[in-house]
């Protein structure tokens, strides 16, 4: 049986390990803090549409291809999907203009998006604030409980809690680097950088209005915030800060998240705080991941930015194809060679 070392126990690394194990590989996952990286901190959105923007067509197509794999992927793991869609709201005129650009771009790509009147928004999500300048209904964007997903993926997978410093020292036939923002420490000159994100986890206290029934994304005076419902609570995220390797939560980050969340959902002021966390997303210069073979023994699967959860199933399939010597054409835009 061929052996495989996966470096990184986030959503991408564990998905690769899970898929490779099913394909007959003997897999060991290495991570100094298994399941405690960016995937643990994430909100769980599977959002190729509302994460998109004009000019990012490759990212849109990758995201849609991976989203199509999610129903079977989640079913095999026993991890329910939240498929009620996403509502996007804009507070002021500039925010409304941003929503118009997004809606026009999605319309141009044949993707379902509906502009909601204030009355329609009120009927759909009565707990939201009133007076938004614009609102969109995007049924094609879903969500998943990221922590439940990590638990499901890790079942039956051999995970070693250790830091890898030298890929050559790993005793495996093949190696897959899925170390997220830490990947650059393992591969010289790899164009992956850490992008800090802070996030809040809240619970609904007795007497407070319940959270919305679907994910709500808000543009609040130019800042972006998302609210993802969980049983009995809500996830609010996420800041985006280019500050290097810094996982400390800041007062300013929490202040902005609370203010923007309250502008979208006033009832948040009555919720209880469960946790405040910060993680490091792995960013690349063109906001596309690095998926493909680095050399005869090493495959890269990193640099997924904000979309690691979304792209996990497609990345796992692409890595298995690389290991089999049959690279997939539908992830050609993510091949590492584009930077060399």
Mark whether 270 and 211 lie in a shared domain.
yes
- In the block, residue with structure tokens 């290097």: 244
DSSP string over 227-274: EEEETTEEEEE---B--SS-----HHHHHHHHHHHHHH-GGGGGSEEE
Mark whether 275 and 290 lie in a shared domain.
no
* Dihedral class, residue 8 (left if φ above 0, else alpha if ψ from -120 to 50, else beta): left
Mark whether 334 and 227 lie in a shared domain.
no
Which of 261, 283, 305 delimits the end of a domain?
283
Which of 283, 298, 319 delimits the end of a domain?
283
307/315 Cα distance (integer angstroms): 11
191/183 Cα distance (integer angstroms): 9
**How high is the pLDDT of residue 115?**
97
Q: What is the mean pLDDT of residues 90-95?
A: 98
pTM equals: 0.97
Mark whether 2 and 70 lie in a shared domain.
yes
Mark whether 268 and 334 lie in a shared domain.
no
**How high is the pLDDT of residue 15?**
98
Mark whether 210 and 266 lie in a shared domain.
yes
**How high is the pLDDT of residue 340?**
76
pLDDT band at 32 (very low <50, low <70, confident <90, very high): very high
CB-CB contact of 22 with 45 (8 Å):
no
CATH classification of the domain holding 63: 3.50.50.60
Mark whether 78 and 213 lie in a shared domain.
no
pLDDT digits 0-9 by tens, 98-133: 999 999 999 999 999 999 999 999 999 999 999 999
- In the block, residue with structure tokens 């300013």: 252
Q: What is the mean pLDDT of residues 313-339?
A: 97
Mark whether 289 and 277 lie in a shared domain.
no
pLDDT digits 0-9 by tens, 131-177: 999 999 999 999 999 999 999 999 999 999 999 999 999 999 999 99
Judge residue 211's burial from the number of C-beta atoms within 10 Å of its C-beta, 0-12 exposed, 13-18 middle, 19 or more buried: buried
**How high is the pLDDT of residue 20?**
98
User: Would you say the C-alpha torsion 280, 230, 103, 61 has a positive or negative sign?
Assistant: positive
Spell out the alpha helix ranges (H) of the chain. 11-22, 38-41, 57-77, 93-108, 118-124, 146-154, 251-264, 308-323
Mark whether 111 and 237 lie in a shared domain.
yes
CATH classification of the domain holding 222: 3.30.9.10
156/22 Cα distance (integer angstroms): 11
DSSP string over 60-80: HHHHHHHHHHHHHHHHHHT--
Mark whether 275 and 289 lie in a shared domain.
no
pLDDT digits 0-9 by tens, 184-241: 999 999 999 999 999 999 999 999 999 999 999 999 999 999 999 999 999 999 999 9
CB-CB contact of 178 with 6 (8 Å):
yes
Domain count for the chain:
2
- In the block, residue with structure tokens 């709500």: 216
Identify the three-state secondary structure at position 306. Answer: helix
Mark whether 161 and 250 lie in a shared domain.
no
Domain that holds residue 98: 86-139+193-283
Which of 236, 256, 283 delimits the end of a domain?
283
pLDDT digits 0-9 by tens, 235-286: 999 999 999 999 999 999 999 999 999 999 999 999 999 999 999 999 999 9
Mark whether 48 and 121 lie in a shared domain.
no
CB-CB contact of 318 with 291 (8 Å):
yes
């Amino acid at each position: 049986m061929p052996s495989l070392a996966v470096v990184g126990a986030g959503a991408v690394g564990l998905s690769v390990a899970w898929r490779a194990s099913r394909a007959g590989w003997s897999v060991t996952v290495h991570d100094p803090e298994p399941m405690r990286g960016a995937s643990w901190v994430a909100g769980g959105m599977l959002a190729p549409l509302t994460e998109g923007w004009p000019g990012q067509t490759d990212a849109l197509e990758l995201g849609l291809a991976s989203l199509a794999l999610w129903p079977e992927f989640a079913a095999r793991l026993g991890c329910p999907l939240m498929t009620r869609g996403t509502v996007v709201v804009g507070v002021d005129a500039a925010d409304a203009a941003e929503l118009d650009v997004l809606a026009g771009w999605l319309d141009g790509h044949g993707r379902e998006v509906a502009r909601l009147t204030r009355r329609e928004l009120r009927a759909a999500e009565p707990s939201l604030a009133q007076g938004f300048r614009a609102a969109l209904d995007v049924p094609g964007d879903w969500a998943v409980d990221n922590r439940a997903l990590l638990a499901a993926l890790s079942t039956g997978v051999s995970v070693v809690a250790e830091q890898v410093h030298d890929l050559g020292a790993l005793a495996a036939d093949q190696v897959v680097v899925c170390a997220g923002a830490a990947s650059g420490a393992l591969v010289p000159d790899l164009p992956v950088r850490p992008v800090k994100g802070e996030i809040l986890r809240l619970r609904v206290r007795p007497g407070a209005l319940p959270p919305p029934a679907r994910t709500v994304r808000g543009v609040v005076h130019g800042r972006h915030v998302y609210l993802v419902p969980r049983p009995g609570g809500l996830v609010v995220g996420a800041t985006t800060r280019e500050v290097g390797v810094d996982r400390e939560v800041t007062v300013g980050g929490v202040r902005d998240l609370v203010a923007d969340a309250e502008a979208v959902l006033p009832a948040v002021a009555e919720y209880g705080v469960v946790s405040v966390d910060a993680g490091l997303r792995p960013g690349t210069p063109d906001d596309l991941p690095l998926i493909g073979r680095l050399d005869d023994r090493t495959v890269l699967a990193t640099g997924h930015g904000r979309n690691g959860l979304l792209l996990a199933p497609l990345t796992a399939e692409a890595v298995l194809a690389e290991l089999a010597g049959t690279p997939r054409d539908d992830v050609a835009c993510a091949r590492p060679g584009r930077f060399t």
